[in-house]
Chain A
Amino acid sequence: EDQVTQSPEALRLQEGESSSLNCSYTVSGLRGLFWYRQDPGKGPEFLFTLYSAGEEKEKERLKATLTKKESFLHITAPKPEDSATYLCAVSYQTGANNLFFGTGTRLTVIP
């Protein structure tokens, strides 16, 4: 069964304490893996797309990597404003841009 699993469910970090979020997937024919950030009461906000194993992308304190079975979102020296839920999604359907989402990791960065 196609599946996207994110871990941990929740993560509390001190400001400046680096860590990684994991997204593992078991879909066949991956066309792209997406990372989104979601703040409470808001819609998901796009962060990264990764297309092939070995690919890496960076944006400020965030870096996303992709292997054949999982993706990591590395957060370096986080700040309180990085607190949010981070969602992972995969696209695997030809002809449409449908996304299959994981349940997310809720990150809290404590000052």
Chain B
Amino acid sequence: NAGVTQTPKFQVLKTGQSMTLQCAQDMNHEYMSWYRQDPGMGLRLIHYSVGAGITDQGEVPNGYNVSRSTTEDFPLRLLSAAPSQTSVYFCASSYLDMGFYEQYFGPGTRLTVT
């Protein structure tokens, strides 16, 4: 069981470039989510999914796209990177039974936009 995996671990982008952060889980979890973590702020929800083919916006969705074609994968796309998107990004997953199950987090992707 690998749990939640994320790639890449580090990435540097120039303003305006696009890229995809990968997230995969092998626990057959229905729920997957993306958070960003910035100094002095709590983790903030970007997008989430309650199952394959179903996605929705979280607290800070602007500038990001997601899709969920399989249960296992939930990639996060930056369409046109901006310095304000410099952050550490975490993917998480959980079962979705009454919404009470703990989320398992990946190791994170540290993104710098110059």
Contact = CB atoms under 8 A, between A and B. Distances in A.
Interface of A: 4, 31-32, 34, 36, 41-46, 49, 51, 87, 89, 91, 93-104
Contact of A99 (B4, B41, B45, B96): B45
B104 interface: yes
Contacts, number: 74
A27 B14 CA distance: 39
A50 to B, nearest CB: 11
Nearest to B54: A96
Given A4-B42, A104-B42, A99 B103 contact: yes
Contact of A31 (B31, B42, B48, B99): B99
Interface residues of B, number: 30
A78 B5 CA distance: 31
Contacts of A94: 99
A21 B14 CA distance: 40
